[in-house]
Amino acid sequence: MIRKTWIHILLGSIVLSWAGCSREHVAQGEDHGHVHTGEEGENAHEHETDGTEKITPGPNGGRIITSVTPNIEFLVRDDRSVQLTFVDEHAKPIEATDAVVSLVGGDRSDPTELTFAVEENTLVSSGVLPEGEVVGVILTIQAGPEAAAVIERFNVDFATCSGCQLVEYACICNH
Point out which residues bind Zn ion (CB under 5 A): 161, 163-164, 171, 173, 175
**With respect to Zn ion, which residue has the nearer C-beta, 152 or 168?**
168
**With respect to Zn ion, which residue has the nearer C-beta, 4 or 23?**
23
**With respect to Zn ion, which residue has the nearer C-beta, 91 or 164?**
164
Output the smallest distance, CB 23 to Zn ion, in A: 11
Output the smallest distance, CB 170 to Zn ion, in A: 8
Output the smallest distance, CB 164 to Zn ion, in A: 3
Q: Where are the beta strands (DSSP E) in 34-109?
A: 63-65, 71-76, 81-87, 100-105
**With respect to Zn ion, which residue has the nearer C-beta, 66 or 140?**
66
**With respect to Zn ion, which residue has the nearer C-beta, 63 or 85?**
63
Output the smallest distance, CB 98 to Zn ion, in A: 33
- Positive or negative: CA dihedral 125, 130, 133, 134: negative
Q: What are phi and psi of 61, to 5 degrees?
A: 85, 15
* Burial of 77 per CB tally in 10 Å (0-12, 13-18, 19+): middle
Cβ neighbours of residue 29 closer than 8 Å, sequence gap 6 or more: none
Output the smallest distance, CB 165 to Zn ion, in A: 7
Asked if the bond preceding 70 is cis, omega within 30° of 0, the reply is yes
Q: What are phi and psi of 169, to 5 degrees?
A: -70, -15
